[in-house]
Amino acid sequence: MIFERGHFIYEFWVARFSLLAGLWTTVSTSFLTIVIGSALGLVLGLVLAYGIWPLRFLARFYVDVIRGIPLLVLILFAYYGLALFKISVTPYWAGVIALSAFCVSHVAETVRGAIQSVPAGQDEAAKAIGLPFLKRVRYVILPQALRRVLPPWVNTALEMVKGTTLLSVIGVVELLLASQQAIARNYLILQFYLAATLFYFIVNFAIAQLAAALERRFRRFKY
């Protein structure tokens, strides 16, 4: 019967609290990563586009290095490495730091590309009415750039959500590791992996579709 030991529904019910806790960790790490990564990424993107050359060079170096390293290596490096600096962080925060560092570089590159894709005439027209630099960026360039940032930004955000599964490798009990722990007890390998897979699929697919719909609505502005 369904409500017997060894049946998926039963085992799922038994594991419900640890799965929920895992889900919460997935949500919170994703959220923190995307917020921190986007905020710092915006700043770094501005540096890439407008910074004086030593700053721009450093930013470029950071972005290119991070984007050349696998996320998993970043996570492991942060996990083992931060301790060396006498920074004692939990695996949770080591993971969030690594994921954010990764997110920053991708957002920064996206922001830079979007800023530079705004036609030069826009900046010149803004100059011609006497807007100083910061106001040109704030009122003319960024509104147009951010519109272009949306699709790749959503993409990066989804990558981050998926990337939180890598935290399982350093022992952060997010949804994947919580599922594996359940599997370790009940051996329902296919069922629990399938459940987790479907969960990620539904959530990410929904977000992606939502973003695509938003993007289509914006498209009427033709810029």
Partner 1 sequence: MALLEARNVQKHFGSVEVLKSIDLDVEQGQVVALIGASGSGKTTFLRCINLLEQYDAGSIALDGEVVGFTSDGRRRPLSERRVSAQRARIGMVFQQFNLFPHMTAEQNVMLGLTKVQGKAKDEAATIARHWLDRVGLSERRDHYPYQLSGGQQQRVAIARAVAMSPRLMLFDEATSALDPELVAEVLAVIQDLAKSGMTMLLVSHEMLFVRDVASKVVFMDGGRIAQAGPPEEVFHHPENERLKTFLGRFHGMFGQPV
Partner 2 sequence: MLNYNFNWSVIWRNWDKFVDALLLGLGMAVVSLLIGTLIGLLVAYARGAGPRWLRWPAFVYVEFIRNVPLLLLVFFVYFGLPELGIYGLDKVQSFVLTLSLYAGAYMAEVFRAGLASIPRGYAEAARAIGLRPLQRQRYVILPVMFRITLPSITNNLVSLFKDTSLAAAIAVPELTFTARQVNANTFRVMESWLTATALYLFTAYAIAIVLRLVEKRYAVIR
Give the binding site for partner 2 (CB under 8 A).
Answer: 65, 68-73, 76-77, 80-81, 83-86, 158, 162-163, 165-166, 168-169, 176, 180, 183, 189-190, 193-194, 196-197, 200-201, 204-205, 208
Please give the Cα distance from 24 to 164 (Å, whole number): 12
2 binds, among partner 2, partner 1, none (CB under 5 to 8 A by kind): none
Unique residue bearing structure tokens 């990558």? 159
Please give the Cα distance from 174 to 23 (Å, whole number): 6
Q: What does the per-residue mask of binding to partner 1 show for 84-123, with x meaning CB under 8 A?
A: -----------------------------------x-xx-
Nearer to partner 2, 42 or 175 (CB): 175
Examine residue 124 and tell whether it contacts partner 1 (CB under 8 A): yes
Supply the minimum distance, in Å, between the C-beta of residue 219 and partner 1.
11
Residues of this chain, 129-168, that bind partner 1 according to CB under 8 A:
129-133, 135, 139-140, 143-144, 147
Examine residue 42 and tell whether it contacts partner 1 (CB under 8 A): no
Please give the Cα distance from 144 to 100 (Å, whole number): 25
201 binds, among partner 2, partner 1, none (CB under 5 to 8 A by kind): partner 2
Using CA atoms, how far residue 107 sits from 72, 92, 159, 170, in Å, is 18, 22, 12, 25
124 binds, among partner 1, partner 2, none (CB under 5 to 8 A by kind): partner 1
Compute φ and ψ for 172, nearest 5 degrees. -80, 125
Q: Determine contact, residues 86/67, Cβ cutoff 8 Å.
A: no
Supply the minimum distance, in Å, between the C-beta of residue 138 and partner 2.
32
Which 3 state secondary structure label does DSSP give 87?
coil
Signed CA dihedral, 137, 138, 143, 149: sign only? positive
71 binds, among partner 2, partner 1, none (CB under 5 to 8 A by kind): partner 2
Supply the minimum distance, in Å, between the C-beta of residue 136 and partner 2.
32
214 binds, among partner 2, partner 1, none (CB under 5 to 8 A by kind): none
Q: Determine contact, residues 113/155, Cβ cutoff 8 Å.
A: no
Q: Determine contact, residues 160/33, Cβ cutoff 8 Å.
A: yes
Unique residue bearing structure tokens 């419900």? 16
